[in-house]
Amino acid sequence: MPEQLNTRVEDCFQQAESFFKRPFKRPVVSLKLRGQKAGVAHLHENLLRFNPQLYRENAEDFLKQTVAHEVAHLIAHQLFGDRIAPHGEEWQLIMRGVYELPPNRCHTYAIKRRSVTRYIYRCPCANSDFPFSAQRHSLVRQGRRYLCRRCRNTLVFTGESRVE
């Protein structure tokens, strides 16, 4: 899996070098990115991080669009410096001119959200269910109190939880 990714990164750099007729410093490439982002370019560290799950699930478009998108950030930074907008004119010109791709700011990959447990708290008010996160529930168990905004009574754990 990483071999195709590294090859595509190198191809993008070679395209840029051919287009601009100058060399560019190669980045470190990492597959240590989770969450909603498909890729991130760390300009000052010359580092590209990619989301391995989104890469696996969308390999063809990921290699074509996402890799070029992130490499274009590094190229724009090496050419124009710090004072450019992340998805500004310079980056867009590289996407269109060098890679002949649309300068899309965001991906449209389906993202699987992880399930979370909510702990149900109540107060005497009508319709007063308050779903607490595991972190907030833990703070209550350590002695923290939360008050209802309407009646100012302390919220009490019902013993119920639900998975969202």
Residue ranges of the annotated binding site are 69, 73
Residue type, 41: A
Query: Binding site membership for Zn(2+): which residues?
Result: 69, 73
Instruction: Specify whether the CB–CB gap between 48 and 9 falls below 8 A.
Output: yes
Contact call for residues 103 and 95 (beta carbons, < 8 A): yes
CA dist., res. 119 & res. 76, Å (int): 47
**Candidate list 3, 45, 70, 89, residue with the active-site label:** 70
Annotated catalytic residue 10: no
Q: Which residues does residue 122 pair with via DSSP β-bridges, in sequence order?
A: 156
Tokens 């990619």, located at residue: 50
Residue in the block written with tokens 């899996």: 1
Question: Catalytic residue positions?
Answer: 70
